[in-house]
Amino acid sequence: MGGKVQGQNGVSAEAPIPLLTPYTLGKFQLSHRVVLAPLTRLRSWNNVPQPHAILYYSQRTTKGGLLIAEATGVSDTAQGYPQTPGIWTKEQVEAWKPIVDAVHAKGGIFFCQIWHVGRVSNTGFQPNGQAPISCTDKPLTPQTQSNGIDVAQFSTPRRLTTEEIPLVVNDFRLAARNAIEAGFDGIEIHGAHGYLLDQFMKDHVNDRTDKYGGSLENRCRFPLEVVEAIVDEIGADKVGIRLSPFANYAEAGDSNPEALGLYMVESLNKYGLVYCHMVEPRMKTVGEKCESPHSLLPMRKAFRGTFIVAGGYDREDGNNAVAENRADLVAYGRVFLANPDLPKRFALNAPLNKYNRETFYISDPVLGYTDYPFLEDTE
């Protein structure tokens, strides 16, 4: 990609690099198609975003670049990890403002990913030590955490009653409103990776017998109620969603992921969402690529808005996805974390810093967070 082509008068010109071509995302003019994926970093003390996040996000901002903030809790029951940010209190909203301002000062477009972890939690993260909430009362088995050492313990969840579900929908609506108040350009609903919305969608988890369980339509009812409430609150032009129908994170698999993915994108078309962000089938579990016979192409073709793909992409892979019209934008996580100037490196086809998994989830405000070198620092 990016080889020479004959220009006018026989003068060779650089062929455009697909990832670095401009794109119109709803009302936003993007200068390139390299997106910062939402990345949990565990550096928000007491669930409040910290000043060190100002540098972290601004380092990764380019004029006309899209950034998606780390998963941000919608309520005090939404947490399942230490030191993750929230957006349900006034203090949290105020703490986000300078971070958002720093991204905007450099011309970036900033969406806030909002989530609820559901049963991927334990009583230690819950108000008054209560049980985590979910679509089910089936507990998760203990799991080795992403650092490969610690084992996460999960408490048996409490099954939400039918009457309680609208209250959770309202938590998402208020979080979206708060994100706009904090200055974000939009929000991404986290409907992926085995968290609350995904727990409802996936038939390996959802064992309900009310209107939120059983059929595909019923299992998708709660996520779509969240979508509708947020669209009504802040406008569809500010709403995206992330889905991972093929993934089996946190024991949230589905017997027919393609049908699930297609049903969701076709349903989302009714709301006019600005984008759908989907995780590649090859990413079955955290950080591991595997061969998969499945493809996101049917969902790409069915969805009428912008389609963002994520999951194990490198430069060549991302360029091919855009060139072959399999995606409009490509989200990068670990390599963007380790290369704050990733779009520039892609433009120059420069070597990339290697990421250090050991520092992904430590609480240090600098180490493994804002200390990855820029290209000019390594020359």
**Active site (catalytic) residues:** 195
Residues comprising the chain, all counted: 379
Nearest residue to 199 via CA among 310, 121, 268: 121
Nearest residue to 331 via CA among 318, 345, 350: 318
- Helix, strand, coil % over all residues of the chain, rounded to 5: 35, 15, 45
Q: Which residues of 11-44 are buried (b: 16+ CB within 10 A; e: fewer)?
A: eeeeeebbbbeebebbebebbbbbbbbbbbbbbb
Can you state the angle between helices 165-181 and 90-105, rounded to 10 degrees?
A: 40
Region of 90 (left: φ > 0; alpha: ψ -120 to 50; beta: rest) is alpha
- With 0-12 / 13-18 / 19 or more C-beta atoms within 10 angstroms meaning exposed / middle / buried, residue 298 is middle
